[in-house]
Chain A
Amino acid sequence: MNDNRYLRQTTLKSFGNEGQQKLRSAKVLVVGAGGLGVPVLTYLNAMGVGTLGIVDNDVVSLSNLHRQVLYTEKMVGQPKVLAAKNQLLAQNSDTEIIVHQTFLTVLNALQIIGDYDVVIDATDNFPTRYLINDACVILNKPFVYGALHGFEGQVSVFNYGDGPTYRCLFPEMPGADAVPNCNDHGVLGIVPGIIGNLQALETVKIITGIGEVLSGVLLLFDGLSQRFQRMNLSLNPKNKSIIQLEKSYEFECEIPIASIEAKNFQQIYTPGGTELVDVRTIKEFSRQHIAGAKHIPLSELKERANEIDLRAPVYIICQSGVRSKKAIALLRELFPSNEFVNVLGGMNHIDVYALTH
């Protein structure tokens, strides 16, 4: 490590070489490489955190770029963890980047989180937030929470020493239809940048011991009025007594699925190279289909699943993108460790003329 690199922060008296050394030895896990994860990763990497783990199973899409500023137009269609790793290593080649190309699930959460000192909740959905909370309580790890709604954001540090947990703030997971996410509700590009940077700052404080960690306080930010509010909260001891994960954290009938926009899919698709499964009916398929697509109607999928080549990510398409989700749910049960990607909007969003000419 070149000492000059971090001179401007090691010069800070309360930080110093000791703080730098602590960052160097720290292992931080960032769950989600999207709007919040990107600024967290970028700054922790620049500042010299020794080991950064990234959990994500999504691909870069064009509609990510307004807020996920680590990614470029050329990376559209690439898995986020791989695009992020390349960018972060170009920024700081000293960092060890560990890629977990998967969503965080009940099956892998304890194992993945167990290897790290601090966890960053940079996800975009409630099931994963509650999963992170419970896994961190079980493993006794602090986690830095950040979440967005439109022009607003929330930040706190949970499970830090004797401090409160996420369940002390919101005991129960809201229903699937109660609170919209960024995809449905929208988010101004800069807001995750602000909230993610606050999360990165809290992470540095936890690792180095400088300042006051935002434990026992929920920080609320409103971008439209540039106003911060604080709410103090305390531990409800029963929330520390979790000893095992719940069987499932999913909303009923809703599962997080890796997806790609149709036009991005068209850019990466090579007939005969990319494994594409079309799950529409025979009638629909015979009317029009993408050259090279493997046709297995949804009704026959279970019996004929062994026809799918699982060596690379498998893309699933239907007419509008709804049946393909059902197909992926089914395939995941059969092949839990393989990657299935939903083509958003299905054939309705595919430019068939461009694909066949």
Chain B
Amino acid sequence: MNVLFFGIAKDIVGSSEILFSDEEAKPATVAALKKDLIKNYPEFLKLKTLAVAVNSEYANDDVTLSGNDEIAIIPPVSGG
């Protein structure tokens, strides 16, 4: 499983990608992933609205995750 970060999420995490090895415990759903992010990076609490893509498809909180998924964390961006 790998997680890609865009926009302010990339700045919060300080990296554009996190890789989970096969042995590591992985979040089971999108909701669990968001919870993990907030636990590790409390600044995610401020982002009320955050789009998550699982294998390039928009994913609601109840979507389940599996080992080979590619996930993208996409916050709103405002610049113009």
Contacts and interface: CB of A to CB of B under 8 A. Distances in A.
A283 to B, nearest CB: 39
B68 interface: no
A232 B8 CA distance: 21
Contact of A179 (B10, B16, B47, B80): B47
A81 interface: no
B79 A229 contact: no
Contacts of A233: 51, 57-58
B74 interface: yes
Contacts of A187: 79
Given A149-B7, A173-B49, A179 B56 contact: no
A28 B18 CA distance: 42
B78 interface: yes
Interface string A169-181: 1111111011111
B72 interface: yes
Given A174-B48, A231-B53, A154 B77 contact: yes
B76 interface: yes
Contact of A230 (B7, B56, B79): B56
A37 B80 CA distance: 8
B40 to A, nearest CB: 18
B80 A146 contact: yes
B51 A179 contact: no
Contacts, number: 108
Contact of A125 (B47, B56, B78): B78
B80 A229 contact: no
B57 A231 contact: yes
Contacts of A148: 77, 79-80
Given A149-B7, A179-B47, A35 B79 contact: yes
A124 B79 contact: yes
A152 B80 contact: no
A228 B33 CA distance: 24
B46 A178 contact: yes
A129 interface: yes
A174 B21 CA distance: 33
Nearest to A183: B79
A53 interface: no
A242 B80 CA distance: 26
A214 interface: no
B27 interface: no
Given A35-B80, A148-B79, A231 B51 contact: yes
Interface of B: 4, 6-8, 10-11, 16, 46-49, 51, 53, 56-58, 72, 74-80
Given A124-B79, A231-B56, 10 more contacts: A122-B80, A146-B80, A147-B80, A149-B78, A178-B8, A179-B7, A179-B76, A180-B78, A220-B72, A222-B6
11 contacts: A34-B80, A150-B79, A152-B7, A172-B49, A174-B47, A177-B46, A179-B47, A182-B79, A229-B56, A231-B72, A231-B74
